[in-house]
Amino acid sequence: MGNLGKICVLLTALSVGAAGGAYAFYKKAYQKPRAEIAQQKAQLETYIETCKKNGENFDRTAANYAPVYALSMPTNRQSAGVEYQIWLEQMLEFCNLSEPMTKAGRYVPNRANNTATQEFSVQAQCSTADLTQFLFEFYWTPFLHRVKALDLQPIESSDLLEVRMTIETMTVGYKERRDPAAAANEAETALAQALAKFANYPKTDKLPTETTPTRVLASGPLAAYKPFAEAQLFRAVRAGIDSADYARLTGTPEVSDEKGNVTQFSRWRVETEDRTITLKAGDRLQIGSVDAEVVKIDADFVILRQDDERFWVVLHGEKLSDAVAVPANLY
């Protein structure tokens, strides 16, 4: 091969090598970085889209749970305990529960679902009617709270009850609102804009007293629950001595006045008080747990009426506690 041939081969080799080197340099310095940038761009776009979807999900969730946030206790632990205890004592006083004692109990945070509960113990004395009103007002009030335990004990020789309650309140946590202007990237901006829509939920420093009350468990006005208070459920287990158990109808004598008018009376012997009560029709009979009107007096029995709708018959010689109910339409 002549020199010219060798030179041609050398030039060809150099051309091929230069082309290969240029392609390798193109792949390394341009194609690969561009591919990496494209991949990073795609990942970032996917991340932004995910954040937007998360923001939309939060938007829907926050809208659905807005009423729950609004009923929540304050997120500040001290505010939640102090403010609720003040409200509770005011409610006890409003419902005429006497000698109330309240005490804040354990506070239990749950980091798994971002909630917290706190217990309050209550001790007071009240009538069945006052307790009914308290429970009505308690469940009418728009708070996340419940009566966890309720213990009732009749007070000896009294119409009052000794009440002990354990009340549990709940705080529902939430994500802090962010300022969209301070967001570091588009994803944080989207999330911040979603959070900003719910800046008013919950009220973090006050009890939700401004929230419009909703009927949670109360099915009607307080009057709908009065029959419970009037049922006198605790009479049968009333502690102490009930004078009605020791009062007996001893006679139904007829007495004539100076004009010859005859009036029939009923005589009741109260052994526990060592006295005899004489009553005519229309008088009020009040012995122990019994409070009734004398409606009719017969030689063999007396008819009593309670609350204008319940009638009882007591036979001559029988105890007041042995009275038998009779239909109202008979009298």
Q: How far apart are CA 45 and CA 42, in angstroms?
A: 5
Two tokens, residue 295 = 């409606």
Please give the model's pTM, rounded to 2 decimal places: 0.49
Within 10 angstroms of residue 12's Cβ, the number of other Cβ atoms is 10
- Domains parsed from the chain with CATH numbers: 77-173+210-230 (3.30.70.60), 243-330 (no CATH)
Cα–Cα distance, 102 to 91 (Å, whole number)? 12
pLDDT along the chain (331 residues), means of 10: 54 53 57 71 74 64 64 83 90 90 91 86 91 88 88 81 93 60 61 55 54 50 69 53 84 84 90 88 88 89 83 89 75 57
Q: Which regions of 143-218 does DSSP assign to beta strands (E)?
A: 145-154, 161-172
